[in-house]
Amino acid sequence: MASGNFAALSLTWIFAGFLGICTAVASNEVNILDSKTAQEELGWIASPPEGWEEISGYDEFYTPIRTYQVCHVMKPNQNNWLRTNWITRGGAQRVFLELKFTLRDCNSIPGIPGTCKETFNVYYHESDSERVSGIHESQYVKVDTIAADESFTEIDLGGRIMKLNTEVRDVGPLAKKGFHLAFQDVGACIALVSVRVYYKRCPRTVRGLAVFPDTVTGADSSSLIEVRGACVDNSAEKEAPRMFCSVDGEWLVPIGRCVCGPGYEQAEDGCQACERGFYKEFAGDNSCSKCPPHSSARARGAASCSCEDGYFRPRTDPQSVACARPPSAPGNVISNVNETSVTLEWSPPGETGGRRDVSYSIVCRRCPSEPAGACAPCGAAVRFLPRQARLLNTSVVVRDLLAHTNYTFEVHGNNGVSELSGVPSRFAAVNVTTNQAAPSPITDVQKGLISEDAIILNWAEPKQPNGIILDYEVKYYEKDQKESKYTTLRSNVTSTTITGLKPAVVYALQIRARTAAGYGDYSPAVEFKTSPDYVASPSEQKQDTLIWAFVFAVIVVLLLITAFFIIKRRRCGYSKAKQDYDEEKTRFHSGHVKLPGLKMYIDPHTYEDPNQAVHEFAKEIDASCVKIERVIGAGEFGEVCSGYLKHPGKKEVCVAIKTLKAGYTEQQRRDFLCEASIMGQFDHPNIIRLEGVITKSKPVMIITEFMENGSLDLFLRKNDGQFTVIQLVGMLRGIAAGMKYLSDMNYVHRDLAARNILVNSNLVCKVSDFGLSRVLEDDPEAAYTTRGGKIPIRWTAPEAIAYRKFTSASDVWSYGIVMWEVMSYGERPYWDMSNQDVIKAIEEGYRLPAPMDCPLPLHQLMLDCWQKERSDRPKFGQIVGILDKMIRNPNVLKTSASGDVTTRSANSLLDQSIPDFGSFRSVEEWLDAIKMGRYKDNFASAGYTSLEQVVQLDSDDIVRIGITLIGHQKKILSSVQSMKADLVQLHNQGVHV
Catalytic positions, written as ranges: 751
What CA–CA distance (Å, rounded) separates 89 from 278?
A: 52
Determine if residue 658 is labeled as part of a ligand binding site.
Answer: yes
Phi/psi at 535 (nearest 5 deg)? -110, 130
**Could you tell me which of 850, 797, 836, 854 has the C-alpha nearest to residue 977?**
850
The secondary structure of the chain in percent helix, strand, coil, rounded to multiples of 5, reads 25, 30, 45
- Positive or negative torsion for Cα 113, 115, 118, 120: negative
What CA–CA distance (Å, rounded) separates 768 from 757?
A: 6
Determine if residue 635 is labeled as part of a ligand binding site.
Answer: yes
Alpha helix stretches (DSSP H) within 844-965: 856-865, 876-888, 923-929, 936-941, 947-950, 955-961
Determine if residue 633 is labeled as part of a ligand binding site.
Answer: yes
User: Terminal CA-to-CA distance of the chain, rounded, Å?
Assistant: 134
Specify the 3-state DSSP secondary structure of 786.
Answer: strand
What CA–CA distance (Å, rounded) separates 187 from 189?
A: 7
Q: Decide if 186 contacts 78 (C-beta within 8 A).
A: yes
What CA–CA distance (Å, rounded) separates 586 from 984?
A: 53
**Could you tell me which of 342, 348, 346, 350 has the C-alpha nearest to residue 332?**
346
What CA–CA distance (Å, rounded) separates 66 from 38?
A: 7
Determine if residue 640 is labeled as part of a ligand binding site.
Answer: yes
Determine if residue 639 is labeled as part of a ligand binding site.
Answer: yes
C-alpha distance from residue 465 to each of 239, 319, 383, 432 (Å): 73, 57, 17, 20
What CA–CA distance (Å, rounded) separates 599 from 723?
A: 36
Q: What is the DSSP letter of 303?
A: S
Determine if residue 634 is labeled as part of a ligand binding site.
Answer: yes
Crossing angle for the helix pair 856-865 and 876-888, to the nearest 10 degrees: 180
Determine if residue 638 is labeled as part of a ligand binding site.
Answer: yes
Bridge partners (DSSP) listed for residue 414:
359
What CA–CA distance (Å, rounded) separates 85 from 99?
A: 16
- Positive or negative torsion for Cα 701, 704, 709, 714: negative
Crossing angle for the helix pair 725-744 and 808-823, to the nearest 10 degrees: 170
Q: Decide if 967 contacts 832 (C-beta within 8 A).
A: yes
Phi/psi at 612 (nearest 5 deg)? -65, -40
Determine if residue 899 is labeled as part of a ligand binding site.
Answer: no
Bridge partners (DSSP) listed for residue 360:
391, 413
- Amino acid, res. 793: I
**Could you tell me which of 811, 937, 823 has the C-alpha nearest to residue 879?**
811
Say how many C-beta atoms besides its own lie within 10 A of residue 270's C-beta: 14
**Could you tell me which of 10, 14, 413, 30 has the C-alpha nearest to residue 203?**
30
Specify the 3-state DSSP secondary structure of 148.
Answer: coil
What CA–CA distance (Å, rounded) separates 312 from 319?
A: 11
Determine if residue 474 is labeled as part of a ligand binding site.
Answer: no
Phi/psi at 518 (nearest 5 deg)? 120, -175
Q: Decide if 213 contacts 87 (C-beta within 8 A).
A: no
Strand duo 701-705 + 653-659: pairing: antiparallel
C-alpha distance from residue 155 to each of 7, 131, 151 (Å): 13, 46, 11
Determine if residue 120 is labeled as part of a ligand binding site.
Answer: no
Bridge partners (DSSP) listed for residue 244:
226, 252
Dihedral over alpha carbons 948, 950, 954, 959 (to 10 degrees): 160
Alpha helix stretches (DSSP H) within 899-935: 923-929
Bridge partners (DSSP) listed for residue 430:
409
What CA–CA distance (Å, rounded) separates 572 from 228?
A: 67
Residues belonging to the binding site are 632-640, 658
Residues belonging to the binding site for ATP are 632-640, 658
